[in-house]
Amino acid sequence: MRIRANILAASALMSVVVLSGAADAAVSSARNFSRKFGVVLTVVQEKCMACHTRNYDLPFYARIPGIKEIIENDYRNGLRALNLTGEFAFNKPLPGKISEVALAKTEWVVLNDTMPPAKFAMVHWGSRLKDGEKKALLDWVRTVRVRYYATGTASEKMAREPLQPMPESVPVDFPKVDIGKKLCEDQRLSVDNTVACATCHDHKKAGTDNRRFSEGVRGQSGNVNAPTVYNALFNVRQFWDGRAADLQEQAGVPPFNPVEMDSRDWDQIIAKFAADAELTEEFKAVYPDGWSGKNITDAIAEYEKILLTPDSRLDKWLRGKGYALSLEEKKGYERFKAYRCATCHVGKAVGGQSFEYMDLKKDYFADRGSPLASDAGLKGFTGKDEDLHKFKVPSLRNVELTWPYFHDGTAETLDEAVRVMGVYLSGLDVPMVDRRLIVAFLRTLTGEYHGQRLGGKAVEN
């Protein structure tokens, strides 16, 4: 009943969308989309949701005697690997728009025929996906990608891929960008005028500092690796633990972090800026209400919107230029997908979309030792136990230049990072030959900033 009702609700919603559209072609394509969505919903609700949604109201398997333990384990691990709570809700502004990550993960398990888990399928006849259902799921994943996530420049074939080209630019307010750039490079944001944002997010180092932990005022260092500011605009939230919602909120944090810039408050910073007549005049031309924390962070965030690195060789290839990647690099991309990498490192930024457990498949923290305060991950922000060891999936754009890797800065080479990912996040050991191919592929993600290839001639502006 509930499933049926949901399908009807989906169709009703689609009609609302459609009626506002008009053209016949649009109507029929929207109907088609809504029909596909209905089919997929039935499959997912019957065969997947029980283990992948929090508080699912009908744990149909819970009463089966003898396999309770397996099932409890499945439920816990299922949720850790993929949480579909809210993904299939009907009250979304865009019906059927589930996240790129959920799409990629679903595609992977269907292609590799791993879900529902074998142990479960053995005792549950009929729980396996039928061929028609698999086809419907795959077709739907690709349809949703093209409809909601394609950035518009991929060739027709590539628009269905989990990775998408980086946009050349996004609309910005240029006077704000100019002032934001100056502020990012201004050491007066720090208490003793020695550290700027650009100190730790250096253009010459692909927006990082290439240190395990950054060095702030008075030579202090923190306990977490500095991610790049390039393409940070596309992150679902900012920081490894997501504690800032967006770039503006993020920009208000480092000035007052005691080991980074250690200023007391905005008044202290603004007193220094206000004494600079030239800068104040320029600032007031853009922000008539003058200096304030809100305006300063607004300008910095606006500047960060231009820190995009399009036109990598991957982008060219996705746009249809077959020669942009070598045979080896194309094989690397296939391995990148086969080893599950593209289920988390997905979309135009090749990551940045979700939070995942660093100990998903094996206890990374026990193996590494030497606990760090930053290991808490998302739990450090939400306080919830279930968020322990969850980190924002980093973007892999320009990754060959952003070493060392991980929140703890422990992996110094890409080969090591790929090995660790295989063991702890993919649950698949990646042999050296395949690591080599994946690393070759990762090097094709190096883009251009203002027309200059990163890491080549030093990028100055």
Task: Find the binding residues for ligand HEC in span 82-101 (CB under 6 A).
Answer: 82
Report d(CA 223, CA 96) in Å as an integer.
40
Binding of ligand HEC by 199 (CB under 6 A): yes
The first and second tokens of residue 81, run together, are 């690997």
The first and second tokens of residue 8, run together, are 């009807």
Looking at beta carbons only, is 153 or 443 nearer to ligand HEC?
443
On whether the CB atoms of residues 389 and 136 are closer than 8 A, the answer is no
Report d(CA 93, CA 95) in Å as an integer.
6
Which of 42-50, 90-98, 154-162, 269-277 is the region at the interface with ligand HEC (rule: CB under 6 A)? 42-50
Which of 1-9, 27-35, 168-176, 219-227 is the region at the interface with ligand HEC (rule: CB under 6 A)? 219-227
Residues 355-374 that bind ligand HEC (CB under 6 A): 356, 358, 360
Looking at beta carbons only, is 153 or 250 nearer to ligand HEC?
250
Nearest one of 411, 406, 438, 419 to 338, comparing CA atoms: 438
Give least dist CB 371 to ligand HEC, A.
Answer: 13
Report d(CA 106, CA 348) in Å as an integer.
19
Residues 109-128 that bind ligand HEC (CB under 6 A): 109, 114-117, 120
Q: Pick from 13, 14, 51, 191: which binds ligand HEC (CB under 6 A)?
A: 51
What residues contact 142, with CB distance under 8 A and at least 6 apart?
A: 107, 160
Residues 316-355 that bind ligand HEC (CB under 6 A): 339-341, 343-345
Binding of ligand HEC by 203 (CB under 6 A): no
Which of 148-156, 278-286, 325-333, 416-424 is the region at the interface with ligand HEC (rule: CB under 6 A)? 416-424
Looking up tokens 């009943």, which residue turns up? 1
Looking up tokens 């230029």, which residue turns up? 321
Handedness of CA 358, 359, 361, 364 (dihedral sign): positive
The 256-275 site mask, x for binding ligand HEC (CB under 6 A), equals: ----xx--------------
Which residue type sits at 93? Answer: P
On whether the CB atoms of residues 95 and 34 are closer than 8 A, the answer is yes
On whether the CB atoms of residues 50 and 56 are closer than 8 A, the answer is yes
The 2-41 site mask, x for binding ligand HEC (CB under 6 A), equals: ----------------------------------------
Q: Pick from 18, 105, 164, 387: which binds ligand HEC (CB under 6 A)?
A: 105
Binding of ligand HEC by 181 (CB under 6 A): no
On whether the CB atoms of residues 100 and 149 are closer than 8 A, the answer is yes
